[in-house]
Amino acid sequence: MPNQNSLHGENRKLLVRLSIGALVMFGFGFVLVPFYEKICEVTGINNILKADEVVNTQVDTSRLITVEFDANIHDLPWQFHPLQSVVRVHPGELVTVAYEVENTRDRPVTGQAVPSYGPAISGQFFRKMDCFCFTQQTLAAGERRTMPVAFVLDPALPDDVHTVTLSYTFFEIAGRNAALPATGDGAS
């Protein structure tokens, strides 16, 4: 047993080490953020902002798939709708459709569209070559813009899927990315 003074010293040394450990773990929680983003990037799990590669362009004329388009806005003073609500396409065929969006507010607003798919399984077969959802869109006050979506339905789409719904939701960009200048996307 060490005497009282050296015990105090030992205790204090361990206290400092354990406190540093706690601080390091606090930092570790934040390190998980870029780590997670890197993993998603490397494994391609969360690449909604990138154009897809087409793996098979063989058009399957034996099937005709109904593709429905939907548009939603989330807390955004915009008008947003697809120019055509339904198209019928062959898997493998390159299709271009357009959405129209209008800023009804009297100041510029930046938004980001996030796609979702129904049924959910069709998402991985819905390959977008070009999409306004790959970038943020900044609309001047009162500006109206027509934006294209070019896509190919992968012929590997399961046989029991006859209708695919593509739904976009526009979110207003506030926060850390708001300061970014909107990149031109050739969509106007």
**186 near another protein, rule: CB under 8 A:** no
Q: In the stretch 105-124, what mask flags binding to another protein with x, by CB under 8 A?
A: -------x-x----------
Compare residues 25 and 181 and give the one whose CB is closer to another protein. 25
Instruction: State the Cα–Cα distance between residues 11 and 14, nearest whole angstrom.
Output: 5
34-73 binders of another protein (CB under 8 A): 36-37, 40, 43, 45-46
CB-neighbour burial class of residue 122 (10 A; exposed 0-12, middle 13-18, buried 19+): buried
Piece of the chain touching another protein by CB under 8 A; list 6-14, 55-63, 126-134, 145-153: 6-14
- Report the residue number, 33 or 62, with the smaller CB distance to another protein: 33
Stretch that binds another protein, among 5-13, 62-70, 88-96, 140-148 (CB under 8 A): 5-13
**Hey, which residues between 133 and 162 contact another protein (CB under 8 A)?**
none
Q: Which stretch binds another protein (CB under 8 A): 25-33, 96-104, 150-158, 159-167?
A: 25-33
- Segment lying near another protein (by CB under 8 A), choices 30-38, 64-72, 89-97, 158-166: 30-38
28 binds another protein (CB under 8 A): yes
* Alpha-carbon span 167 to 68, nearest angstrom: 8
CB pairs under 8 A, 24+ apart, for 139-143?
139/78, 139/101, 139/102, 139/103, 139/108, 139/109, 139/110, 139/111, 140/103, 140/108, 141/103, 141/105, 141/106, 141/107, 141/108, 142/102, 142/103, 142/104, 142/106, 143/102, 143/103
Q: How far apart are the first and last CA of the chain?
A: 79
Does residue 111 contact residue 139 with C-beta atoms inside 8 Å? yes
| Residue 150: both structure tokens together | 């070019």
For another protein, which residue of 25, 58, 158, 184 counts as binding (CB under 8 A)?
Answer: 25
Residue whose tokens read 């129904």: 118
Binding site for another protein (CB under 8 A): 1, 7, 10-11, 14-15, 18-19, 21-23, 25-30, 32-33, 36-37, 40, 43, 45-46, 74, 112, 114, 171-178
